[in-house]
Amino acid sequence: MKDLFGKALVDYQNGNYVEDIITSTTISDDDILPLPYLFRDFKTMPLLEQKALELAHGKVLDVGCGAGSHSLWLQDKGLNVKAIDISPGAIEVAKRRGVVHAEKKDILNEKERFDTILLLMNGTGIFQKMDRLERYLQHLKTLLNAKGQILIDSSDIRYMYEDDCASGSYFEVLKTQRTYYGELDYYLSYKGEYELPINWLYLDFDTLKAACTNVGLTCEFILEGTHFDYLARLF
Ligand SMILES: C[S@@+](CC[C@H](N)C(=O)[O-])C[C@H]1O[C@@H](n2cnc3c(N)ncnc32)[C@H](O)[C@@H]1O
């Protein structure tokens, strides 16, 4: 990993904001990810994220914290928050913005227990692929205190295959291969440099719920977003 995501966050934090991140996927063209969005405050967060923050209680783990926006809000409310991310740049920025407990760590290496685990901004993406989904859910379950909860958002991206013929026929190919349509390759570039492609998983609610049932977690639908997205609570 070149950590271009982290480099962009560090640039923004240093006041060197000249370009945004460009992303694309297997089935979508270039899209702009504006850097200021990654530094959003509560007012500019989507309702799904606001709801997740309001539901958070006790000792919280913010998984894939990025610039630490969610952690900072919770910390200001007096909650005990630990923020983790695999991006060194993200952790540097989260710390510089004031996140007290921020650590460069992969979720699979986390061992502490928490009352609330947050995975936000398409949190299921971190699971990468369907064949890793239950392994991640099993692991997250081991990190929960009694009465603990996981708050996670995702999107049903079925609509992305309905927009044009090319992606429509790709959807049919995926069906014959029995490949889940939410498994995408995700490409990111910043200032002319290209990150290594990553696997990123979008999950419709029923598929997430079925996987939760398989690992002994209950999956509750909390809120629908404005664009095929939703917030779920697992416990
Ligand atoms: C879409 S960004 C979301 C950032 C932040 N939660 C937000 O809402 O602004 C996903 C983040 O997850 C991090 N990440 C990806 N895989 C991870 C893993 N296995 N463990 C911890 N963090 C991970 C990435 O480095 C990135 O910062």
The number of residues making up the chain comes to 235
Given this model, what pLDDT does residue 171 score? Answer: 75
Flag the least confident range among 8-12, 86-90, 159-163, 192-196.
159-163
pLDDT at 165 over 80: no
Given this model, what pLDDT does residue 167 score? Answer: 67
Q: Which of 186, 182, 64 is nearest to 130 (CA)?
A: 182
Residue 121 CB less than 6 A away from ligand 1: yes
Q: Using CA atoms, how far apart are residues 218 and 126, in angstroms rounded to an integer?
A: 20
Pick from 16-25, 155-164, 167-176 the range whose average pLDDT is largest: 16-25
Q: Which of 27, 212, 61 is nearest to 133 (CA)?
A: 212
Residue 69 CB less than 6 A away from ligand 1: yes
Given this model, what pLDDT does residue 164 score? Answer: 66
Which tens digit of pLDDT belongs to each residue from 169-219? 777 777 777 789 999 999 999 999 999 999 999 999 999 999 999 999 999
DSSP 22: E
Which tens digit of pLDDT belongs to each residue from 133-149? 999 999 999 999 999 99
Given this model, what pLDDT does residue 173 score? Answer: 72
Question: Other CB atoms closer than 10 Å to residue 63's CB: what's the count?
Answer: 24
Residue 85 CB less than 6 A away from ligand 1: yes
Query: Looking at this protein, which amino acid is placed at residue 76?
Result: D
Mean pLDDT of the chain: 95
Given this model, what pLDDT does residue 175 score? Answer: 74
63 C-alpha to center of ligand 1: Å? Answer: 7
Residue 63 CB less than 6 A away from ligand 1: yes
Bridge-based pairing of strands 183-190 and 144-155 is unpaired
Instruction: For ligand 1, atom 13, name the residue with the nearest CA.
Output: 64
Which tens digit of pLDDT belongs to each residue from 22-43? 999 999 999 999 999 999 999 9
Cβ atoms of 124 and 154 closer than 8 Å = yes
pLDDT at 18 over 80: yes
Pocket test for ligand 1, best of 23, 45, 51, 126 (most atoms within 8 A of CB): 126
Which has more confidence, 170 or 64?
64
Q: Using CA atoms, how far apart are residues 208 and 202, in angstroms rounded to an integer?
A: 10
5 C-alpha to center of ligand 1: Å? Answer: 10
Which tens digit of pLDDT belongs to each residue from 101-134? 999 999 999 999 999 999 999 999 999 999 999 9
